[in-house]
Amino acid sequence: MYYQPEIETASREEILKIQNEKIVKQVRHVYDNVKYYRDLMDKKGVKPEDIKSVDDIKKLPFLTKADLRDAYPYGLLGTDLKNCVRIQSTSGTTGKRVVAFYTQKDIDLWEECCARAIVAVGGTNEDVCQVCYGYGLFTGGMGLNGGSHKVGCLTLPMSSGNTERQIQFMMDLNATILCCTPSYAAYIGESLAEAGYKPEDNKLKAGIFGAEPWTEEMRRSIEKSLGIKAYDIYGLTETSGPGVAFECEAQAGMHINEDHFYAEIIDPDTGEVLPEGEKGELVFTSLDKEAFPLLRYRTRDICVLTREKCSCGRTHVKMSKPMGRSDDMMIIRGVNVFPSQIETVLLNEKYPPNYQIVVDRVNNSDTLDIYVEITQELFSDKVSDTQAREKALEATMRTMLGIGPKVHLVPPKTITRSEGKAVRVIDKRKLHD
Ligand code: ADP
Ligand code: ZN
């Protein structure tokens, strides 16, 4: 099932034709209206006439988060403020917030992207869609809310938090689709079990989870605890919000809405465009945005693009799950470590997805401490049992990561649950710098 079948299953040639037409117009729009970017193009010696097709995009300068902060708040605005109807802002995971502007058309296209994601997981006007991403400045709630309306679902605009009420509405109003961060979905699953519900007691069939990295192990754990199929959705405020890419029934990578966003993978060190299938930093050019039309925006998300045929019939390019942002990667004693590697080990070893990673520097040497909550069943009063478990986990982690962490098993319910994006890593080294 598709929301916009013609475009979602268009041939490669048709998509390229649309992209080529749009990029010529969009570069002209940006050059004429966004002085900040015009200066960057002039500095690089590129004129709008030089961009005749998407092949020429590589000639354009990049934009980074630093540019967005420099240009805050109006520097990258592509139209008069009087044409804008809304702002949204990033969650500020990695520093100062970024503000993005929308015209009504920008919002319509964004909501259509979210509608595609909802229909891709089987959503129709007979569904009850519970949105527990935060509403407000954060794009998660507003985006999925708009998409759910477009599909015609009965929308429950819950926003995040108040888990008891989430559960009450989910059960009383027979929610069939759940939208939130994966860490909050795990928490809702845990809370349902505590309230005495079995996975088959709810009417949920699918979940649309994104806004933060999550592993395949986490997917299986959520699917089991809620009795649903769990699908990934990706996006960022800078390009609109969730719905830039979404998973289909194949659950193997997310289709990027290529009619609106042109994606490239680059080598993060050299900026060189990499061939399909190679891992690198994802870069987006928005082909339609009027108010906040970013060209070649570096997301810092590391992933792979593939054009392999998908069983769902969609033709748009797929991105792999981002394995974390390039700035999520921790360099510990010279070794690159991603939080996702740690999550994989924990869930494989049957620990719950409640953990926190603390990195510090003691006597000029990096330390890595992993606090892991144990389940009630694993909970034991015997110190020797706990120590043996900690040692076993440390050994498995050492093999996976290439460095040895210190594992601390902590009693159930001691690690703070997240209602939005989970804070998995505390890097205390930054405090000393
Ligand atoms: P912030 O940078 O403050 O978190 P946003 O709320 O706009 O701002 O979040 C966008 C970022 O969230 C993306 O660049 C990406 O790192 C992360 N993200 C969004 N969706 C996913 C997903 N499905 N998987 C992994 N990471 C995601
Ligand atoms: Zn597909």
pLDDT digits (tens, 9 = 90+) for 156-175: 999 999 999 999 999 999 99
CA–CA dist 318, 276 (Å, integer): 11
- Whole-number Å distance, alpha carbon 98 to ligand 1 midpoint, is 13
Q: What was the pLDDT predicted at 378?
A: 80
Using a 6 Å CB cutoff, which residues line ligand 1? 90-94, 210-213, 232-237, 299, 301, 321-322, 325
Atom number of ligand 1 nearest to Cα 238 = 7
Q: From atom 25 of ligand 1, which residue's Cα is the shortest distance away?
A: 213
- Is 353 in the same domain as 396? yes
- Is 109 in the same domain as 195? yes
Decide if pLDDT at 433 tops 60: no
Residue 37 domain flag: no
Q: From atom 10 of ligand 1, which residue's Cα is the shortest distance away?
A: 236
- Whole-number Å distance, alpha carbon 54 to ligand 2 midpoint, is 23
Decide if pLDDT at 394 tops 60: yes
Q: What was the pLDDT predicted at 31?
A: 98
- Is 208 in the same domain as 275? yes
Residue 19 domain flag: no
Q: pTM of whole model > 0.85?
A: yes
Query: How many domains are there within the chain?
Result: 2
* Three-state secondary structure call for residue 407: strand
CA geometry: angle at 256 spanning 119 and 423, to 5°? 90
Residue 99 domain flag: yes
Domain of 424: which CATH number? 3.30.300.30
- Is 315 in the same domain as 333? no
**What are φ and ψ of residue 166, in 5° steps?**
-55, -45
Q: Starting at the edge strand that comes first in sequence, how are the strands of the sheet with 355-362 ordered?
A: 406-410, 365-373, 355-362, 425-427
- Whole-number Å distance, alpha carbon 385 to ligand 1 midpoint, is 39
Q: What was the pLDDT predicted at 174?
A: 98
Give residue-wise pLDDT tens across range 120-142: 999 999 999 999 999 999 999 99
Residue 76 domain flag: no
Q: Of 324, 354, 380, which marks where a domain is finished?
A: 324
Q: Is 120 exposed, middle or buried (0-12, 13-18, 19+ CB in 10 A)?
A: buried
The domain containing residue 338 runs over which residues?
A: 329-432
Q: What was the pLDDT predicted at 94?
A: 64
- Is 264 in the same domain as 340? no
- Whole-number Å distance, alpha carbon 312 to ligand 2 midpoint, is 4
Handedness of CA 218, 223, 226, 229 (dihedral sign): positive
- Is 172 in the same domain as 229? yes
Q: Are 188 and 180 in contact (CB under 8 A)?
A: yes
Q: Considering only CA atoms, give the Rg of the chain.
A: 22
| Ion ligand 2 nearby residues (CB, 5 A) | 248, 250, 310, 312, 314
- Is 269 in the same domain as 364? no
Q: Are 393 and 325 in contact (CB under 8 A)?
A: no
Give residue-wise pLDDT tens across range 258-308: 999 999 999 999 999 999 999 999 999 999 999 999 999 999 999 999 999
